[in-house]
Structure 1
Amino acid sequence: MALKMELQKLEVWDGNMAASQALRQAQVDVVAAYPITPSTPIVQNYGSFVANGYIDGEFVMVESEHAAMSGCVGAAAAGGRVATATSSQGFALMVEVLYQAAGMRLPILLNLVNRALASPLNVNGDHSDMYLSRDTGWISLCTYNPQEAYDFNLMGFKIAEDLRVRVPVIVNQDGFICSHTAQNVSPLSDEEAYNFIGDYKQYNAMLDFSKPVTYGSQTEEDWHFEHKAQLHNSIMNSTPIIKEVFDEFAKLTGRKYNIVESYDCSDADLIIVALGTSVESARVASKKMREKGLKTGVASIRTLRPFPYKELGEVLKNAKAIAMLDRSLPAGAMGMLFNEVAASVYQAESTKHPIISNYIYGLGGRDLTQSNIEGVYLELDANAKAGKLTHPTQQFLGLRGKKIGFN
């Protein structure tokens, strides 16, 4: 029997500690992991919790991130509740096995502490690894601060393990700005948290010898298409279940989350769409620009996958000008968020379409300042008044040297 940990109603945790406490309360059976900055404290804390008797589970130390996810796949297929954490290059090494986990419909939870991808080598946060995850077949949830890192880990298990979903889940948080920044966090008691998630429901467990199953079979052209379509269908149809989990969590905690978070967007002409810790920064700037007479707002999403096209399009449909802030190098294209949001806007039921633009920012941990964001709003205002783009479609925000922009 695992020991209980007495928590205060208000704890001061960084995002890593918040995530690891959620893993402890979920009583994860197996964490297989290999350390990498800035996600290491999540699995390190889990190992300490196991060693000190707070978790009746196993911490498996492996030789690489590829092996870490392979260990998670094996443990989940055997019938256990499984989680891990990684970042950046480690995540890139894991990617091969992520496709395996998704295709096998194993409800693993992965904390992805977002960090830049090399080269050049960089340990600071941007969304390169988050964007790399898009097509792996995992549900991908977005958090903005340590409280949300805690909350979304608890909800992530419940979403992944729901038999109507049964798809692995990634919980994203910004490296260092969230993972290593201590803030007030209101945790649940151990009993409340575990009861919210519920006991693990085994499904097609390999160690259930009364019902033999096979994992990792080869299908070729006869059935490969159908299996992939089923996975896609499950992810696309998971939104109602995710909303259910959000609603249940709100009743328990009073903390209400939405698939699309809208800040002052109901009457906004000028809207910024952002992810991660930049959302809160954009809200501060929007409030200041409102005081100057501009009708500004901020929209953000909780599910990178499934992408909430309909819900986001509804929020944005009356805007005159929209800027998508992408914290990742698109390397030969418009940013991911720009492309996805553009699809949302053009699918929305509206007789007019806003002027849209793309800002690449914050690569390798470069600061996003209030001046930067206010400048974006001023350019959006100029676009709205001119009825067209007054600058290149894509710009690099806060870049030293010669200004770069692409139409």
Structure 2
Amino acid sequence: MFGKIMMRFWDSMVAPFTLSRKQVVQLTSVTIATAFNNLVGFVVNVVAAKKLGVEGFGVFSLAFSVATLAGAIGDFGFNLAMIRLFNKYQANPEKQTMILGTALGLKGALFALLAVTSLPLSSFLAWSLGVGSVNSNLFAIALITGGFLFIWTYLQAYLQAYRSFKQLTGYILAYCGLRLACLLVAYKFFPEDPLAWLAATYTAPLFVLTLIGVAPSGREAIAILFKHPDASLGIFRELLNYSKWVAISAIAYTAMPYLVRFILAVRGSVEEVGIFSAGMTFTVAFSTLNTAIRAVLFPQVTAFREQQIRRYSARLSRVAPYYVAFAIVGITALGLLQWSLLGKEYREALPVFLVTSGALATVIFLGLATMLVHTLMKPHVDAYTNIFRLMATALFCLLISPLNALGAAAVYGVVLVIGELGMLLYLRRIGRETVL
């Protein structure tokens, strides 16, 4: 039953693009590789939760939150802006290369700044979150990991822009393999050290991929910048003009669950952070399909014309029942898995999962329609929506007293859905006949 639902959903999603056999194979390969990568991340968090205990896993989750936020801030929206402008200049390959080089140069400068400031920032973070100076080195590694994250996402965006999905699949699988190998090292030699878990399962693999993947692919892109410095400045302005909205949106959206963790650490306890993070671990596992589909669809959807938008929106309406069935089966299966894997210590994480996964499942589907804000060149709509989400999440989490993991999850889920519905209503207002 589940397989049939999934196949109908999948077929309905790819049909609007009249993909060739080769493209279908590429799409499937990216999906499978992404699924494996998310599965590895899921395993890392589950094993860490069991080995580190609630408090240790709470500290690990805070460090990973810092890494993820640093990655989102360092990305500064360049990935989506890069793909969008790459599509815009399809008739000018040299300008496309300059766009890629400008984005990489900016990210390289941000990484250098992050490396220089990581030590003083890490001490401040450890003190602010109340986890003791002994964890300052953990947060320093977390900041550096965030730098590697935004370099890694550049490589993915680079391959998406060229639609080199075979290479993208290879790099994602390589990342999976490196993480598994390093996970075994951390499990055997440093089973109760949060710093070792972070370094082994994120920092070290990302460092290797940066050396192997980004250096060769970015050489030509960087070289062409020096040949045309005046044109490069124009590209920088255009890239920044678009990316500033994407950056605001991505940073605000990414920050939401991590801001919840920080507020829980200050107003609740590290144990509540651990419970919330355990529930979110299974919620994030549910987003595998979303990650894979967006990797392939975003470069194509952002190049749509009006007639294509109309067909795409109609297809989304027809596929909705299959998605609902898929979501219900997936949430039920993951809920049972969480109950059986994590044991009594994390029983309170199950309601957190049910609330957040239901909200995320809704937002994932609506997001396939709201992605059209980039097709219509209106990234500011996404940005304003996510600023509202972030501020509302912070406000309501601060107002709830006492704040626990479930209350924080409810705030996060409700605000997430309201924001997506608001963006969808805006799209319908400006294009009633073309948008879902």
Whether TM exceeds 0.5 here: the answer is no
> Of the two structures, which has the highest relative contact order with CA contacts closer than 8 Å and spacing of 6 or more?
2
Higher strand share: 1
Tell me which interval the TM-score lies in, with the shorter structure as reference length: under 0.3
* TM-score of the two chains, using structure 1 as the length reference: 0.27
